[in-house]
Structure 1
Amino acid sequence: MKYFLSKNFMMGASAAAWQTEGWEGKKPGQESLIDAAYKVNPDRWYEGYGPTIATDFYHRYKEDCKLMKEMGLKAYRTSIDWSRFIKNYETGEVNEDAAAFYDGVVDELIKNGVEPIICLEHWELPNQLFEKYGGWNSKEVVEFYVKYAEAAFKLLGSKVKYWFTFNEPIVFPELAIMDGIWYPYKSDTQEAMQWNYNKVLANAKAVKIYHEKDYGYQSGGKIGIIINAAPSYPRSQSTDDVKAADMYDLFFNKIYTDPCIKGTFPEIYFPLLKKHDCMIAVTDEELAIIQANTIDMMGLNYYRPNRVKARSAAWNPEVKFNPQYYYENYELQGKKMNPFRGWEIYAKGLYDFAMILKNEYNNIPWLVTENGMGVAGEEKHKDADGVIQDDYRIDFVADHLRWLLKAVEEGSQCFGYLMWNFTDNVSPYNAFKNRYGYIEIDLDDNRNRRIKKSGYWFKKTVEDGYFEYDGFEPVYK
């Protein structure tokens, strides 16, 4: 079956500064929290690879931009590394070398016909601000971020039409502050919720500056936030299971989608924090700022659905509160899997969340900012010309795209699809184990680039304006 793309539909790819640039050009003390995570425990990163060189985008961005043009990318989303860009985090003074680098990247993208989409924080919180102020636990860091955001707007606002304040802002609070999985290995739900709230506040303040000052908004620029959200599916329609799914949705989706799009937090959120002795520092003045400065668009990172059920046992009262107090994860029988990442593949979830945005969130304009499939050992599957035969990635992208286009046909205001990632990249702790790119990064050959079969499929799809897919339709019914 043929699926047609509209002329103005953005087809592109995403990346992040810390996962591509490497440390070249950074001054002493200019490390991010994720850089620090590698320095503290390099042994936890697969085969020791971390962000030190990454894909060497810092030196090779011109080469990569030419590859984007060759493949027909219409848009490329990346981030500015806050820890690189700002010389003095407290005053907002810019590092001129870093400014020249990012200015050059944007110019090169435009030169090659690629729309630059810039995110201000993809986990690149300066480590100095974590060590001195406690990171996003601090209201002072919110103000430092706003100074940084304005400096970025001043530099690139005349060239960049699409801005995002944060990428997956919940991930570090969840994995590093609440669940103790990532550095700094904390387990404090109250502090994690303060991080989340302060990021929502920082988002609103950045939106306010972008809207009120002439940094491109008046000439059609847009600003938003990127959420790694997904539908929360209950195991059954029993009252207990549905409540479990609702509570998961509250703590992992709605604490961002509601205030950033609607301007208010869910009514039950703060009372729940008080009930569990986790109430955070909130003021009426801050809530008014959040309410008055909502986003223009949303980015959605979608990889897998959330499936939950009611707890089968009571929460241990000796353990501090965690949202898992209200739910347990549920494994769907017969699900389609990516065995390398251990994640369920459920393309219809993208359609379902599109309908949530349409029906519950004022049909806000949005685009897919990440969606992809990480696979290990791809280098073993090359043809005679050395091209990786990643048919599974073509299947993954086509399947998700067809559901996305169905949502667009039904009125969803989605205007683009950016796959994760343009090239293979460093991932947190997995390093280069699972590959995501349309372009191979050959670690055994000086990180040279080579287009995969999926990259050629992407090029043909953009040129033709459609793709053909029959797929595994029964799996998703």
Structure 2
Amino acid sequence: MKLKTINVPDDFMLGASLSAWQSEGWSGKKDSQDSYLDLWYKNNKNVWHNGYGPKTATDFKNRYKEDIGYMKQIGLTHFRTSINWARFLTDYEDATVDENYADYINDVINECFRQGVEPMICLEHYEVPAVLFQKYGGWGSKHVVDLFVKYAEKALERFGDRVKHWFTFNEPIVVQTRVYLDAIRYPFEQNTHTWMQWNYHKVLATAKVVKLYKETRSHKDGKIGIILNPAVTYARSTSAHDQEATRMFDLFFNRTFLDPCITGKYPQELFELLEKHDVSVDLREDELALIEKHTVDYVGINLYFPNRIKARTTGWNPDAPFHPEYYYETFDMPGKKMNPYRGWEIYPEIMYDMAMRLKNDYCNIEWFIAENGMGVENEQRFKNEEGVIQDDYRIDFIGDHLASLLKAVEHGANCKGYMLWAFSDNVSPMNAFKNRYGLVSIDLENNLARSLKKSAYWFKEVIETRLLTVEDKSVYK
């Protein structure tokens, strides 16, 4: 095996992420403070693996000092998490702050700084309050957009003087795609109009919060952005029909957020196609003008696997509601390398290809990898005699993806860091603890005891030495 060693720039972030709802647990939460995820869990608990969900999660709310201590031990430069909107307020209409929860967030931020870890805060990681989802239809409502701005104002007032990394949303396209486009999550309603209205209102909310932040910025180095999950999409073939199908996927799922948030303008073709298929969007010219004027400072990109697309080979039911799949089908490429536990393809080249797209198509905007990682089932079987999980597969995964990303940096990409998903094992929608992603293991059978995996010690060495040693796969090409 031939190895190569890559230098990691000194100012390149090497951190890890979690979200509030996936880690905190319900300790101290009032019954009126359910988020959409809590509502889904309560009403559809049977679809969550072994019944685990946000109720206990990893109990980060009570164990944050212990966990941040592990972050320091590993040497993480940054930690990204979210404020749970549903818990931060007791009244969403007038943005009355829950002082106990706000004190907790304040303590987490202070503890991060005390341990030498830079906090990064997202305002919404699927945590739209359940009451707003039930009363107004969530992000289908312009009133909810305004309430989000009120919430953001209170959060920025409390923490904006210390926290310099802010984000409006994490993966803003996901919830409505699962609920209203594919109808595979509670409350299982297929409505393409609602899907697109949610998309649009989250872009509008981002622009409004960006405007607020830049008018009130209290940290001299503060920045505000959004965390997106665009798919690096490859056509089955070079044929025009496959290339066009791939372009259409990109239009509906990637450019819907990339274009307005970064360039300030929607692709006109998107609205033309929606109109063609009788999908209405409630928008105003003054809103579009605000979106154009208030673009993000930088973006986080969540990237796990590639998407492979081909032209449709089967007909479309004319009585079915419009779905972007009208224009494409997914392609199951033979011979691809797979993570068999998660069902996702492993293709580290996505890092380089996404970097080049942001460089060439989006003015080389500043960005970073906000999530990347590998979920594996039943990791306890990989414990050695000392009880340390030997997750060499995760080390290989991170190393190959990070090497691809650093190659892009060498070629001029304005990428500032890599954040692993996740700091610790955590609850995921439906999968719960089935697939483990963490540097830190959570033992569900032993009072949620924490322990470092082999990958944590490996990552620590990369951070300390600023050297990444990986297998040189170029020798096989």
Does residue 39 (structure 1) correspond to residue 42 (structure 2)? The answer is: yes
Does residue 452 (structure 1) correspond to residue 453 (structure 2)? The answer is: yes
1:70-81 map, 5 Å: 70-81=73-84
Q: CA deviation at 1:215?
A: 3.0
Q: CA deviation at 1:41?
A: 1.1
Q: CA deviation at 1:2?
A: 0.2
Aligned to 1:443: 444
Q: Structure 1 residue runs of 4+, over 2 Å off?
A: 471-475
Aligned to 1:422: 423
Q: CA deviation at 1:352?
A: 0.1
TM-score normalised by structure 1 residue count: 0.98
Does residue 120 (structure 1) correspond to residue 117 (structure 2)? The answer is: no
Distance 1:385 1:232 in 2: 42
For the structure 1 residues 453 and 428, does the alpha-carbon distance in structure 2 shift closer, same or farther, using more than 3 Å as the test? same
Q: CA deviation at 1:474?
A: 7.5
Q: Which of these residues, 93, 97, 111, is aligned with residue 94 of structure 1?
A: 97
Aligned to 1:242: 243
Residue by residue over 1:65-97, the C-alpha shift from the partner in whole angstroms, topping out at 9 and shown as x without a partner, is: 111000000000000000000111111111111
Q: Which of these residues, 169, 173, 176, is aligned with residue 176 of structure 2?
A: 173
1:294-305 map, 5 Å: 294-305=295-306
Q: Which runs of 5+ in 1 are unaligned?
A: none
Aligned to 2:292: 291
Distance 1:369 1:391 in 2: 22
Does residue 143 (structure 1) correspond to residue 132 (structure 2)? The answer is: no
Q: CA deviation at 1:230?
A: 2.3
Distance 2:217 2:81 in 1: 23
* 2:37 partner letter: I
Aligned to 2:316: 315
* 1:371 partner letter: N
Q: CA deviation at 1:314?
A: 2.1
Q: CA deviation at 1:471?
A: 5.6
Contact 2:301 2:371 in 1 (8 A): yes
Contact 2:403 2:468 in 1 (8 A): no
SS in 2 for 1:268: helix
For the structure 1 residues 427 and 198, does the alpha-carbon distance in structure 2 shift closer, same or farther, using more than 3 Å as the test? same
Contact 2:7 2:466 in 1 (8 A): yes
Q: Which of these residues, 139, 154, 157, is aligned with residue 157 of structure 2?
A: 154
Distance 2:44 2:470 in 1: 43
Residue by residue over 1:330-379, the C-alpha shift from the partner in whole angstroms, topping out at 9 and shown as x without a partner, is: 01111110000000011101110100000000100001000000000101
Distance 1:186 1:413 in 2: 40
* 2:255 partner letter: K
Distance 1:204 1:414 in 2: 23
Distance 2:431 2:31 in 1: 26
Does residue 341 (structure 1) correspond to residue 342 (structure 2)? The answer is: yes
Aligned to 1:196: 199
Distance 2:44 2:281 in 1: 30
TM-score normalised by structure 2 residue count: 0.98
* 2:342 partner letter: R
* 1:23 partner letter: W
SS in 2 for 1:307: strand
Aligned to 1:404: 405
SS in 1 for 2:296: coil
Count of residues in Structure 1 that have an aligned counterpart in Structure 2: 474
Does residue 377 (structure 1) correspond to residue 389 (structure 2)? The answer is: no
* 2:319 partner letter: E
For the structure 1 residues 60 and 471, does the alpha-carbon distance in structure 2 shift closer, same or farther, using more than 3 Å as the test? farther
SS in 1 for 2:166: strand
Identity across the alignment (%)? 53
Q: Which of these residues, 206, 209, 229, is aligned with residue 206 of structure 1?
A: 209
Distance 1:44 1:332 in 2: 29
Distance 1:90 1:385 in 2: 53
Q: CA deviation at 1:470?
A: 0.6
Contact 1:395 1:471 in 2 (8 A): no
Distance 2:326 2:280 in 1: 16
Q: CA deviation at 1:237?
A: 1.3
* 2:440 partner letter: I
Distance 1:90 1:179 in 2: 31
Aligned to 1:332: 333
Distance 1:84 1:300 in 2: 26
Aligned to 1:228: 229
SS in 2 for 1:226: strand
Distance 1:231 1:277 in 2: 28
Q: CA deviation at 1:473?
A: 5.1
Residue by residue over 1:160-200, the C-alpha shift from the partner in whole angstroms, topping out at 9 and shown as x without a partner, is: 11101000000001001111111111111111000000000
Distance 1:384 1:347 in 2: 32
Q: Which runs of 5+ in 2 are unaligned?
A: none
Residue by residue over 1:436-469, the C-alpha shift from the partner in whole angstroms, topping out at 9 and shown as x without a partner, is: 0000000011001000000000011111110210
RMSD between aligned alpha carbons?
1.0
* 2:172 partner letter: P
* 1:408 partner letter: V
* 1:376 partner letter: E
Does residue 82 (structure 1) correspond to residue 80 (structure 2)? The answer is: no
SS in 1 for 2:385: coil
* 1:373 partner letter: M
